């Protein structure tokens, strides 16, 4: 009896967390300052590590960047192909830096990922993408973005 209650409570908390993350990772309807395309590889077992590269499309030009990060929450390994909208980007120099945020996703061979990342300059990225591998993620993450050209 007690085990059923604990399992039900854990399932309810998980559903609330996923629902909360869903609303927090939805981009506003206002036009973005820029867009991004990211390809990332990650592995997790309670903690997570990620590395990848991407392209920022800003003011009619392409700017390539690298991304690396650490996080808490999740398990497994996956590749991520994501696109996103960037808000509050007033200058290209505001884009690089440390981004913090939340993500949620489930990959069972193929899956979906949604994330909201914010840096110290107030730049906000809303990402949505496809994942491949075997992983679950819901938690906080920090990424370092560096422009390469």
- 46-72 pLDDT per residue, tens: 778 889 999 999 999 999 999 998 887
Write out the H or E segment, with its range, that includes residue 7: helix 2-24
Beta bridge partners of 86: 34, 125
* Domain around 140: 2-147
CA atoms of 46 and 72, how far apart (whole Å)? 6
The first and second tokens of residue 88, run together, are: 């509050």
Q: What is the pTM of this model?
A: 0.77
CA atoms of 137 and 74, how far apart (whole Å)? 4
| Residue 146: per-residue pLDDT | 97
CB atoms inside a 10 Å sphere around CB 102: 21
Q: How confident is the model at residue 22 (pLDDT cuts 50, 70, 90)?
A: very low
Q: How confident is the model at residue 21 (pLDDT cuts 50, 70, 90)?
A: very low
Number of domains composing the chain: 1
């Amino acid at each position: 009896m007690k085990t059923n209650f604990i399992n039900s409570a854990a399932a309810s908390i998980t559903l609330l967390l996923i629902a909360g993350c869903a609303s927090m990772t939805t981009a506003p309807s206002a036009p973005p300052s820029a867009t991004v395309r990211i390809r990332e590889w990650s592995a997790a077992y309670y903690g997570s590590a990620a590395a990848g590269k991407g392209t920022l499309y800003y003011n009619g030009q392409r700017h390539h960047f690298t991304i690396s990060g650490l996080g808490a929450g999740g398990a497994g390994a996956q590749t991520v192909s994501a696109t996103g909208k960037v808000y509050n980007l007033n200058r290209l120099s505001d884009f690089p830096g440390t981004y913090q945020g939340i993500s949620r996703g489930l990959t069972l061979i193929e899956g979906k990922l949604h994330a909201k990342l914010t840096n110290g300059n107030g730049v906000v990225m809303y990402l949505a993408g496809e994942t491949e591998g075997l992983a679950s993620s819901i938690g906080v993450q920090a990424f370092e973005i560096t422009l390469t050209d």
